[in-house]
Amino acid sequence: MGILEKIGEIEREISRTQKNKATEYHLGLLKAKLAKYRAQLLEPSKSAGAKGEGFDVMKSGDARVALIGFPSVGKSTFLSLMTATASEAASYEFTTLTCIPGVIEYNGANIQLLDLPGIIEGASQGKGRGRQVIAVARTADVVIMMLDATKGDVQSVCMMLVCSVCMMLVCSVVMLVFCVQPKKGGGLSYNSMVPLTMCSEKLVQLILHEYKIFNAEVLFREDSTPDDFIDVIVGNRVYMPCLYVYNKVDQISIEEVDRLAHEPHSVVISCGMKLNLDYLLERLWEYLALICLYTKKRGERPDFSDAIIMRRGASVEHVCHRIHRTLASQFKYALVWGTSTKFDPQRVGLTHVMEHEDVIQIVKK
């Protein structure tokens, strides 16, 4: 029996099993086995084969965004509109057969946009180059899930299913809720900082034994599900921000457009009529968590023509390393103008956290 057959058998057994107190341990074991088999799908084949054309592209720019969606939802048209790259677009499916990169210039930042081939149901099992698409999407900072507004909500449910392997699409930063530290002996040590309602000590022990872990220290920092616990043990789950973009809204009613626009983490656009693209860029900038910083020399005006792009939460020390690797060791103090200071200018140290559109002047020793 192959891996796909084992996965199908486990999924059928999970669907048949009722969820109650008596079956939670059995379901936990089934989910652990399912995660193990799904992880094996992403492992490269050991048998030697002919080398094909490379799929991934070199990462460049200040951030990377991946376009994922079913065939013929408007991904290539969106890439051609937002970047200077011309991606082939046609009325038939699977026009794009490889990864096509483009660059979006916004707020002084260069954002790399990847147009990936359309994926089909079963992509997580490798159908339709699904493994390559998901592998490239895992390297992005944000995933844009392109959906066809004329096909309803069924499409968004299917998209969550096809990306169920080793990539969790979320819309906020996910903290590490567990600490699983294997050790040489001593058995299992089980502790929690909050009351647990979905995981018990027996269930945790059964899941760890499934992965041949018999000696470990387990610490729960918040109440979480067995699926989250399995993700931490496997260690290959990537939590990524996701923005759902509904294209072709010019072909549906205004009531349906209003309903889709009020869905959480969703944006409605029309590539054919170039509607709402500016708002999409604003939301994308927010999800990327980027900030623009400007430098200033002593006795001169700030240089607003060349911005330094940093991640939100960056400190003055990060700015020094971005300008030059030796600047932090020669740092004396910095003067900062902007919303991160109480008054302008404010003398700060290396630990000061910068905010969007701040101006900084660095003084060396």
Convert the pLDDT of each residue in 285-304 to its tens digit.
999 999 999 999 988 898 88
Q: 218 and 318 in one domain?
A: no
Cβ-contact 204, 187 below 8 angstroms: no
Report the CATH number that the domain containing residue 308 is assigned in CATH: 3.10.20.30
- For the chain, the domain total comes to 3
Asked if 146 contacts 247 with a C-beta cutoff of 8 angstroms, the reply is yes
In the structure encoding, which two tokens stand for residue 272, read together?
């054919």
Compute how many other C-beta atoms are within 10 angstroms of the C-beta atom of residue 240.
Answer: 20
Q: How far apart are CA 134 and CA 130, in angstroms?
A: 6
Task: Provide the CB-side half-sphere exposure for 78 (13 A, CA).
Answer: 32
Q: What is the pLDDT of residue 174?
A: 41
Cβ-Cβ contacts under 8 Å for 154 (sequence gap 6 or more): none
Q: Are residues 159 and 18 in the same domain?
A: no
Residue type, 281: L
pLDDT of residue 129: 61
Residues in the chain: 365
The answer to whether residue 53 sits within a structural domain is no
Residue 54 lies in a domain: no
Convert the pLDDT of each residue in 335-362 to its tens digit.
999 999 999 889 999 999 999 999 999 9
120 and 141 housed in the same domain: yes
Give domain status of residue 335, yes or no: yes
Please indicate, yes or no, whether residues 38 and 70 belong to a single structural domain of this protein.
no
Domain range for 43? 3-47+173-234
Q: Determine the Cα–Cα distance for residues 295 and 310; give it in Å rounded to an integer.
A: 13
Query: Which of 150, 167, 152 lies closest to 116, judged by CA?
Result: 167
Check whether residue 252 and residue 162 sit in a common domain: yes
Looking up residue 163, the CATH number of its domain turns out to be 3.40.50.300
Pair 211, 353 in one domain: no
Residue 218, in any domain of the structure: yes
Please, what's the b/e burial string for 246-275 (b: 16 or more CB within 10 A of its CB; e: otherwise)? bbbbeebeeebbeebeeeeebbbbbbeeeb
Judge whether 315 and 334 are in contact, CB under 8 Å.
no
Q: Is residue 205 part of a domain?
A: yes
Q: Are residues 185 and 318 in the same domain?
A: no
Residue 133 and residue 116 in contact, taking contact as beta carbons nearer than 8 Å: yes
**Is 22 a member of any domain?**
yes
**What is the pLDDT, as a whole number, of residue 175?**
41
Residue 227 in domain: yes
Q: How far apart are CA 306 and CA 304, in angstroms?
A: 6
Q: What is the pLDDT of residue 173?
A: 38
CA distance 351 to 154: 48
How far, in whole angstroms, is CA 320 from its chain's centroid?
Answer: 27
- pTM for the full model? 0.73
The string of DSSP letters for 156-218 reads HHHHHHHT-SSEEEESSPPP--EEEEE-SSS-EEEEESS--SS--HHHHHHHHHHTT--SEEE
Same domain, 183 and 200: yes
Contact 360, 291 (CB under 8 A): no
In a domain, 58, yes or no: no
Query: And the tokens for 107?
Result: 């707020």
Cα angle for residues 156, 161, 162 (degrees, 5° grid): 95
Is the domain of 349 the same as that of 309?
yes
What's the rounded Cα separation, in Å, for the pair 77 and 25? 48
Same domain, 183 and 249: no
Q: What averages of pLDDT result for each successive group of 10 residues across the chain (365 residues)? A: 76 83 80 76 53 66 87 84 72 62 89 82 55 78 87 60 51 45 74 81 82 81 78 73 88 89 89 90 92 90 89 92 90 92 91 92 90
Phi, psi of 309 (to 5 degrees): -95, 120
Taking residue 202's Cβ as centre, other Cβ atoms within 10 Å add up to: 12
Region of residue 236 (left: phi > 0; alpha: psi -120 to 50; beta: else) = alpha
> Could you tell me if 139 and 69 lie in one domain?
yes
pLDDT given for residue 356 in this prediction = 92
- Does 157 lie in the same domain as 262? yes
DSSP string, 76-111: HHHHHHHSS------SSS----S-EEEEEEETTEEE
